[in-house]
Amino acid sequence: MPSNAKVAYCRTYQKVMKITSDMLPWKEPSIIRGAGSIKKLPYLIKQKGIRKVMVVTDKGLMGLNLLDSLFEGLKSKGIEYVVYDGVQPNPTIPNIEEARQLYIDNACEAIIAFGGGSPMDCAKAAGARVVKPNQSIPKMKGVLKVRKKLMPFFAVPTTAGTGSETTIAAVVSDPETHEKYAINDLCLRPGYAVLDPELTVGLPPHITSTTGMDALTHAVEAYIGKANTKETAERAVQAVKLVFENLYKAYEDGKNIEARENMLLASHYAGIAFTRAYVGYVHAIGHNLGGLYGVPHGLAMSVILPYVLDYYGEAAYDRLADLADAVGIAGADNAEKAKSFIAAVRELNAKMNIPASIDKIKEEDISLLADRALAEGNPLYPVPKIMNKAECVALIKELMPKE
């Protein structure tokens, strides 16, 4: 365990952050939802008098022609658009700077982020750089470092996992230092979110599974943490129920529109929850596995979640028992319910062929990974139990394949 002084410092910091958070002007995105709802977006943009937009996406989605209906709609409304499709799976500072330059060079007036968490993170950070031209991305790292209103921002998720369409975070990778960190500011929250399940129908099963487990991680980490509000707790429970009821259905039958729509809602609700209640060590460790090795975020979350829940132990049992109750997992007491909930997470992973370990971790990197994870997590994340370096090292070793 960390020293008493370290724990006291972390808890005091977290209480101050919660009090500050409660005083901030939170405003959720306006939602357009339902099958085919992407076709309504150009009309909304036209209504706002916007004449030219930048669409931020990736080459994979462009290759699938998933944006065609959006492009056709924009053209029909007389709205010009330019496309930045150079986003990498973990968006980098050069990605962000390229997108920013395209926006400026073409005198755009708004941004549409179309895709998973990576295009949205890139678009948010690019927007921040447009309105703060003299502030570098590394200088925006942390909390409330942007503090300037962005241009009109429309988010269209094509995966049901990150919840980025409702979060205040943009996660960035620095290719020079191999760090992965978050920029957090209320101004990064999109004004509008389009939740169209038809856009997620073509997701491969392994992306459906890992992004869905990312949504579950957001909800669980938010709920078991110490910074909940009544609303974040309600949204987290709703998200956990939706994931348990719908993720395997969507994995097994990608064309199940009802399951796809419910997973988009789960992701959205989980995003609302963790945006105010924060995440925990699953994300702190996962971000750094992504930064150092390029491990996809959803895969990292899927694998790490049960290990971190095991680590929290009885500090999280009561809250995990609530989630067990919500999804119909029985037990003689809260400890048994909590352990059964963790077992159910592992079972869901296994059913969807998600591995129980991450084979890219190198022994010589573990100390650095632990340092970076704890630098992200402490004192910011209001986790059930504060982790020290030795505990973090031991947990990361648990993630390695067993010989």
Residues with Cβ < 8 Å from 243, sequence gap 6 or more? 212, 213, 215, 216, 219, 263, 266
* Mean predicted confidence (pLDDT) in 331-356: 98
Domain spans, the chain: 4-22+203-398, 34-200
Question: What is the tens place of the pLDDT at every residue in 211-262?
Answer: 999 999 999 999 999 999 999 999 999 999 999 999 999 999 999 999 999 9
Is CATH 3.30.420.40 correct for 4-22+203-398?
A: no
Residue 56, strand partner residues: 84, 113
The whole-chain average pLDDT of the chain stands at: 95
Full DSSP string of 332-401: SSHHHHHHHHHHHHHHHHHHTT--SS-TT--GGGHHHHHHHHHHHHTTTS--SS---HHHHHHHHHHTSP
Helix (H/G/I), strand (E/B), else coil: 98? helix
Residue 137 pLDDT greater than 80, yes or no: yes
Residue 403 pLDDT greater than 80, yes or no: no
* Mean predicted confidence (pLDDT) in 32-52: 97
pLDDT at 221: 98
In the chain, % of residues over pLDDT 90: 90
pLDDT at 259: 98
324 close to 366: Cβ distance less than 8 angstroms: no
| CA 402 to chain centroid | 29
Higher pLDDT among residues 182 and 257, named by residue: 257
The bridge status of strand 192-195 relative to strand 153-157 is parallel
Banded model confidence at residue 1, pLDDT cuts 50, 70, 90: low
Cα–Cα dist 29/336, whole Å:
38
Banded model confidence at residue 182, pLDDT cuts 50, 70, 90: confident
Banded model confidence at residue 112, pLDDT cuts 50, 70, 90: very high
* Mean predicted confidence (pLDDT) in 95-103: 97
* Mean predicted confidence (pLDDT) in 292-314: 96
pLDDT at 379: 95
pLDDT at 386: 97
CA-wise closest residue to 270 among 224, 309, 227, 239: 239
Residue 210 pLDDT greater than 70, yes or no: yes
Residues with Cβ < 8 Å from 3, sequence gap 6 or more? none
Residues with Cβ < 8 Å from 175, sequence gap 6 or more? 92, 93, 94
Banded model confidence at residue 24, pLDDT cuts 50, 70, 90: confident
Q: Under CATH, to which class is 34-200 assigned?
A: alpha beta
Question: What is the tens place of the pLDDT at every residue in 358-375?
Answer: 999 999 999 999 999 999
Question: What is the tens place of the pLDDT at every residue in 167-176?
Answer: 999 989 888 8
* Mean predicted confidence (pLDDT) in 47-67: 96
